[in-house]
Amino acid sequence: MSQQPPQQSRQEASQPAPAQMSSGYATLEQRLKYISEYNFPFCDESAKYEKVAKIGQGTFGEVFKARSKSDNKFVAMKRVLMENEKEGFPITALREIRILQLLKHENVVNLIEICRTKANKNNKYKSIFYLVFDFCEHDLAGLLSNVNVKFSLGEIKKVMKQLLNGLFFIHSNKILHRDMKAANVLITKTGILKLADFGLARAISISKNGQPNRYTNRVVTLWYRPPELLLGDRNYGAPVDMWGAGCIMAEMWTRSPIMQGSTEQQQLTLCAQLCGSFTPDVWPGLEKLELYHKMELPQNHKRKVKERLRPYVKDPSAVDLLDQLLILNPDKRINADDALSHDFFWTDPMPSDLTKMLSQLTQSNFEFLAPPRRSNQMMHRYQQQTTSQVPPRPQDNSYQDRVY
Amino acid sequence: MPWWYFEKEELKNTPSRKDNVEFDTERRYRREATNFIKECGNLMGLGYSTIHTAIVYLHRFYMFHSFRTFPRYVTACSCLFLAGKVEETPKKCRDIIKKASTILTSQKMMSFGEDPKEEVVTMERILLKTIKFDLQIDHPYRFLIEYAKCLKSNGNTPKEQVVQKAWNFINDSLETTLCLQWEPEIIAVSMMYLACKISKYDVVDWKGRVPDHQKWWDMFVKDMTKNILEDICHQVLDLYQNPKGKSEAPDSPPQLPPSKASLIKASPPPQKRAKLQQSPVMNPKVAVNHIPVKVSSNEYDMAKVPHPPYGYPSTSYQQPPPPAYLVQSAVPPPLPAHSNIHHKPPLPPASNYPTNNNIPPLPPSRYPAANIASNQFYQLPPTNNYSHKNNRSNHYHQPYQ
């Protein structure tokens, strides 16, 4: 965060004089010249960073690793896509910025500043904006797809504890992340976990006049999408992130996403196969959800969370916590606070530092740069009805960056 | 964190001043742009928080750029456009411009150029770069409600009336640069103080009082001196004067046609003024309620001008009786039933500002109670240090000399 400039320097003498006729407004030309020369005191030029490599690509735009020219520190720069925006600066980006400015926590990615390119003739006087973050060396999806990375039980506890800590913090700030997945969980080389990508995040509204909220339910990557969203709930809350946390936790052992549906319907089926059938007994109010009658809900499935995860997860308290995270009914799903008090984090082996394990890695591990993960055997059995697809990854290898 | 609060010296030495815009002219521009945002926002059904946020963006923006570089109504539209998105009440750029063109004269619309939408969208980027993406604006309203809940009086004036008045003063304060001088908490205390004075509402006790507390606001802000309080109140009260300077003020830059202001000068008294003259505000039988402070009128030339027969003169404070809208209404519901004091604040008591004159009274639904709750989403847990306010040991300025 840039220091507060001293009072007097805010209107720098170096600013271009607002050159215009002694009367009247500036002409268009004068204004454009002014815009391109004005040195915005609170919005630095992106040229202060030097792009090193592309490390991510999504609907949101591109993410680059870059180096600060002044102190050689690495940062991640996320470009704000504005080209196709009819309504100016995207409201989603504004939300993300506002939320990130609010959420300052060890386990939430740190937004350093927002940079811009210089406005000039070439870009039609339209700056490009970048969100600049502290650089994190790895993401969890990348680490899990690297067979050389082995997490001990204590290390898994450390990861999950930090993840839940971050979730507890954002939820107590009344923010929903809405895009929990392993690729959005960053880990620094010193083993600090950071929740990232708040591009879908939003504030929890207090419902107005008793009216339920009408959030969009088209959020969360399918494989991590909780059952209430799959059933069209529009008045959801923090439990949507807790489901994702459960999926990620299981993935720490299975090494690949546990429910890889290719359609909403199939994802629901996978949920039922793992967590038991959707019935009003386990989930009162279920029948009121918008898509309850439209989706096909497999009947007569027993809940098999524990028995299916046990082959991977030997630790009984881990299985128990997973069992409480992967609960269909959002009202019964464990919250971040209670999860942090779970025996899992308070029994031996206690959470242990990740630094040592990570220090053996000589390169960054990002999902974007990693080879596609194979879906594992156990889960494969349950996905035979349809071919499970690993989402295609961009084949852009021109920026392969392997060493930090 | 940039510091969005300025010393009075800085407020006098703005980019516009350096660009040969007179102090009074800049103040007029700020008021015109502010009132335009209020009107346009109201017509579009935007709530007070969106309108307030937009106006604060505007005031901040013109601490870095001149009014002659960026025409005020274009900037105002961008501020409203951005604030709409930030406050989750987005309006289409096209609709804002459409509404603006019904409010502004066609000559004023000329400053939007050939492609008004492009102009506003481009302006939004400049606005964002200038205000450092500091999008979250705290408003005095919720502090006012919070503070008012604690106050106890043994007088007869219903508290709701006082809060309503304070609320209106906050609305009107947006026309001044107070939001560039003081934190919203301070403005809330000051406007409540002013409303209490004017309503003869003596605060005799307050919830949460400890022996250290001399005044009720000691509970909410530290080191709040009478001088500060009254300086703030005067800045708002000065709005209600008819500034002689205004009619003489240089008009909009010559390339523009005569503004509404000069047109109205010659026309018969507008609706609102007529209403106010009927109101017994200036009834000489009303007891004079002096605010015990030396009136310092150095800051604004306006203050030296003899005041017109309406409004709250800043040199002799006469207590206005409760406005008609309050007298006629049924018994006000008790605090802290929020929703009931959030109905549409009446028009500014004596705003004599010309561009404002044609605004019809707006329906009460303009200020839904739920909006105030929406600000609470961003309250922080105690562990978080996010607040520029905490970074400064001397939180509150010394009184201006």
Report chain A residues whose CB lies below 8 A from the CB of B121. 88
Q: What are phi and psi of B5, to 5 degrees?
A: -115, 140
d(CA A181, CA A246) in angstroms, rounded, equals 10
CB A248, CB A136: distance < 8 Å: no
Sign, Cα dihedral of B334, B335, B336, B340: positive
Q: How many residues does chain A have?
A: 404
Q: Based on the domain organization, do A88 and A186 belong to the same domain? A: no
| Residue A395 falls inside a structural domain | no
**Structural domain that includes position B111:** 8-130
Q: What CATH number is given to the structural domain containing A278?
A: 1.10.510.10
So what's the pLDDT on residue A16?
Answer: 64
CB A195, CB A185: distance < 8 Å: yes
Q: Based on the domain organization, do B235 and B173 belong to the same domain? A: yes
d(CA A233, CA B323) in angstroms, rounded, equals 47
Name the band, by pLDDT with cuts 50, 70 and 90, for residue B170: very high
| Residue B173 falls inside a structural domain | yes
Cβ neighbours of B373 (radius 10 Å): 15
CB B72, CB B119: distance < 8 Å: no
So what's the pLDDT on residue A9?
Answer: 43
Best CA proximity match to B41, nearest among B79, B95, B90, B80: B80
Report chain B residues whose CB lies below 8 A from the CB of A23. 253-255
B294: contact with A, CB 8 A cutoff: no
Q: How many residues does chain B have?
A: 401
Contact B380 A102 (CB under 8 A): yes
Q: Which residues pair with A129 in a beta bridge?
A: A116
So what's the pLDDT on residue B82?
Answer: 97
**Structural domain that includes position A224:** 138-381
| Residue A16 falls inside a structural domain | no
**Which residue in the set B2, B71, B133 is minimally distant from A25, CB to CB?**
B71
So what's the pLDDT on residue B8?
Answer: 87
Best CA proximity match to B75, nearest among B46, B18, B37: B37
Write out pLDDT tens, residues A245-296.
Answer: 999 999 999 999 999 999 999 999 999 999 999 999 899 999 899 899 898 8
d(CA A394, CA A58) in angstroms, rounded, equals 9
Region B139-154: mean pLDDT is 90
So what's the pLDDT on residue A71?
Answer: 93
Best CA proximity match to B96, nearest among B123, B70, B68: B123
Name the band, by pLDDT with cuts 50, 70 and 90, for residue B135: very high
Mean pLDDT, rounded, of chain B = 68
Question: Bigger pLDDT: A42 or B283?
Answer: A42
Q: Is the peptide bond before B354 cis (omega within 30 degrees of 0)?
A: no
Is A48 annotated in a binding site? The answer is: no
So what's the pLDDT on residue B226?
Answer: 87
Contact A24 B391 (CB under 8 A): no
Contact B92 A87 (CB under 8 A): yes
Contact B111 A25 (CB under 8 A): yes
d(CA B129, CA A318) in angstroms, rounded, equals 48
How many domains, chain A? 2
Q: Based on the domain organization, do B32 and B115 belong to the same domain? A: yes
Name the band, by pLDDT with cuts 50, 70 and 90, for residue B219: confident
Closest chain A residue by Cα to residue B122: A126
| Residue A27 falls inside a structural domain | no
Residues 371-400 of B with CB under 8 A from A: 373-374, 376-381, 384-386, 388, 391
| Residue A401 falls inside a structural domain | no
Q: Based on the domain organization, do A274 and A157 belong to the same domain? A: yes
So what's the pLDDT on residue A392?
Answer: 35
Please indicate whether residue A179 is annotated as part of the active site.
yes
d(CA B368, CA B365) in angstroms, rounded, equals 6
| Residue A167 falls inside a structural domain | yes
Q: What CATH number is given to the structural domain containing B40?
A: 1.10.472.10
Per-residue pLDDT of chain A (404 residues), as tens digits, is 444 444 444 444 456 655 444 456 788 888 888 888 888 888 999 999 999 999 887 666 789 999 999 999 999 999 998 877 889 999 989 999 999 999 999 999 999 999 999 888 888 788 899 999 999 999 999 999 999 899 999 999 999 999 999 999 999 999 999 999 999 999 999 999 999 999 888 888 776 666 777 887 777 889 999 999 999 998 899 999 999 999 999 999 999 999 999 999 999 999 999 999 999 989 999 989 989 989 888 888 999 999 999 999 999 999 999 999 999 999 999 999 999 999 999 999 999 999 988 988 877 888 777 766 654 444 444 443 333 344 433 333 333 333 33
Q: Which of A114-123, A160-169, B139-148, B384-393 has the lowest mean pLDDT?
A: B384-393
So what's the pLDDT on residue B154?
Answer: 79
| Residue A357 falls inside a structural domain | yes
So what's the pLDDT on residue A85?
Answer: 80
| Residue A403 falls inside a structural domain | no
Q: Based on the domain organization, do B54 and B184 belong to the same domain? A: no
Name the band, by pLDDT with cuts 50, 70 and 90, for residue B307: very low
So what's the pLDDT on residue B368?
Answer: 32
How many domains, chain B? 2
Helix (H) or strand (E) holding A325: helix A316-325
Q: Based on the domain organization, do B150 and B289 belong to the same domain? A: yes
Q: Based on the domain organization, do B117 and B144 belong to the same domain? A: no
Q: Based on the domain organization, do B347 and B321 belong to the same domain? A: yes
CA distances from A8 to A34, A249, B9 (A): 21, 52, 11
Q: What CATH number is given to the structural domain containing A97?
A: 3.30.200.20
Question: Bigger pLDDT: A3 or B288?
Answer: A3
Closest chain A residue by Cα to residue B114: A28
Question: Bigger pLDDT: A171 or B366?
Answer: A171
Residues 93-122 of B with CB under 8 A from A: 93, 111, 113, 120-122
Write out pLDDT tens, residues B8-59.
Answer: 899 999 999 999 999 999 999 999 999 999 999 999 999 999 999 999 999 9
Q: Based on the domain organization, do A147 and A170 belong to the same domain? A: yes
Q: Based on the domain organization, do A124 and A266 belong to the same domain? A: no
The CA radius of gyration of chain B, in Å to the nearest whole number, is 20
Q: Based on the domain organization, do A243 and A311 belong to the same domain? A: yes
- Terminal-residue alpha carbon distance, chain A: 23
So what's the pLDDT on residue A342?
Answer: 96
| Residue A63 falls inside a structural domain | yes
